[in-house]
Amino acid sequence: MIYLLGISIKIVPFVLGLSIAFFGWILYWVGLNMTGATFGGAIGVMIATLLALLLDRQDLFLPLVLILGFMGILLGIFLIRKVHKLVFFLTGIVLGIIVEMVVQKCVKDLGYYSMRELWVDLSVKIGSGLISGLLLLRYSRYVISVLTAFCGTILLWSGWGFHKGTLPAILIFFIALLFQISLIRKKGKDPSTLR
């Protein structure tokens, strides 16, 4: 803990919160790709080791490790990105169905017409779920930016000893969110960057 202008600052939560609040999307995406590369590379190296042992050819070990490890890294990154998209799409479907059920209940409670036929009810649920899933998938970067800016602000706030009202925390959240959105938009304009 350090003191700056009479305010106590806990170093670890402050730095971690600052990093997550302002670079959450980048940290998430780098971490996601590194996780896929690590698992894919490890599986590729395990397969190469098994092949070298089964063939009883230790001279093939290094070339197999290099080739299958690299292929595993690429496959791991590809698969983890697909899992990321699938999770966001399925989460969006669930949220869309929940919102539709709440709206239908509110309409019914107000005494307005509610859908009575099963096929109409299922069609509206499926439609709202698909639309919500596609929207959440399309804007997943922004959702992650909002969540990381919020979590980072909480960490930053807990590490910062200046707790005079909530206005500084709200300002930090919105500044961090705008910074992350500017990074996302800047990254989206360059076609050579990975998505």
pLDDT, one tens digit per residue, over 128-187 is 999 999 999 999 999 999 999 999 998 888 877 766 778 888 898 999 999 999 988 886
Tokens 């803990």 locate to 1
Q: Rg (Cα) of the chain, in Å, rounded?
A: 24
pLDDT category, 30, cuts 50, 70, 90?
A: very high
Which residues are 9's β-sheet partners? 2, 160
Residue 194 in domain: no
Residue 115 in domain: yes
Query: In this structure, which amino acid lies at residue 44?
Result: G
Pairing between β-strand 2-4 and β-strand 7-9 as defined by DSSP bridges: antiparallel
Which range of residues forms the domain containing residue 132?
2-183
Residue 188 in domain: no
Residues 6+ apart with CB under 8 A from 77: 33, 36, 37, 40
Whether the per-residue pLDDT at 7 is higher than 80: the answer is no
Rounded CA separation 146/21 (Å): 9
Mean pLDDT to the nearest integer, 3-22: 80
pLDDT at position 190 is: 45
Structurally, the chain folds into a number of domains equal to 1
Residue 192 in domain: no
Residue 69 in domain: yes
